[in-house]
Structure 1
Amino acid sequence: MLSVRQTGFTLLEILLALVISAAIMTTLATGMYLITQDWKRTTHDLDDSLDAVLVLLQLERALNGAFPHTYIDRDENKSYIYFKGDEEQLTWVSTVSPARHAGLAAWQLSPSESKEGGIDIRVVPVFAGNPAENLEKAEPLTAFTGYTARFEYLFVDTEIKDETEWLKEWSAEKTQGLPNAVRIVLEKNNDDKKAGKDLEIIAAILAFEHSTIKRAKPL
Structure 2
Amino acid sequence: MNTDDLIEALACDARRVPPGRAGLRVACCTGMALSAAAVVVWLTLGFRSDLVTLVDDASFLMRQAYTLSIAGFGALLLLRLGQPGAPLRLPLVGLAVTVAVILIAVVAEQSALTGPARMDAWLGQSWRSCTLRVAAISLVATPFIFIAARRLAPLRPTMAGFVAGLVAGAVAGSAYGLFCPEASVSFLASWYSLGILAAGAIGAGVGRFLLRW
Shorter-chain TM-score: which interval?
A: under 0.3
Q: Which has the larger radius of gyration?
A: 1
TM-score w.r.t. structure 2 length?
0.26
Higher strand share: 1
